[in-house]
Amino acid sequence: MSNGEATRSLIFERQMKHPPEKVWRALTESHLIAEWLMENDFVPKVGHRFTMRAVPLPGWSGIVNCEVLAVEPPHRLSYRWGDGTESDSGLVTVVTWTLTPRNGGTLVRMEQSGFRAPDELASKRMGKGWPRVLEMLDDVAGRTN
């Protein structure tokens, strides 16, 4: 991305009735992430490298190599999604979660930035999947203590 290549972002928002602290737990506790996204070895610590693991799809190994970039409880979480390797389909993006208290609950904003022209298939797949992921996150957050 440093070569001046144009990139695009996917942005999805969902109003949840849960307080930011409950949504934050669902975003940052590995066993809860596994319920709404993928199996993982996530730790909310800047610099921590982790993997997300799912069933492989054509053109994708089912593994996403990630690194935590920002942890600001309970308002902002950011991680690199993909490391550009073949297992990640060459993808290198950044996922940023922003939690804003609103209407007695939380406005959850997810932005995945950095899609390049060669990432069009991945962008389309993920663009179709993120709304359902946010729905599942909402469900998991509602079940946390």
pLDDT of residue 1 exceeding 60:
no
Angle of the 20-28 helix axis to the 120-143 helix axis, nearest 10: 120
Distances in Å between the alpha carbon of 124 and those of 9, 45, 64, 118, 121? 11, 30, 17, 12, 5
- Model pLDDT for residues 87-105, shown as the tens digit of each residue: 667 789 999 999 999 999 9
More confident residue, 119 or 28: 28
pTM of the predicted model over 0.75: yes
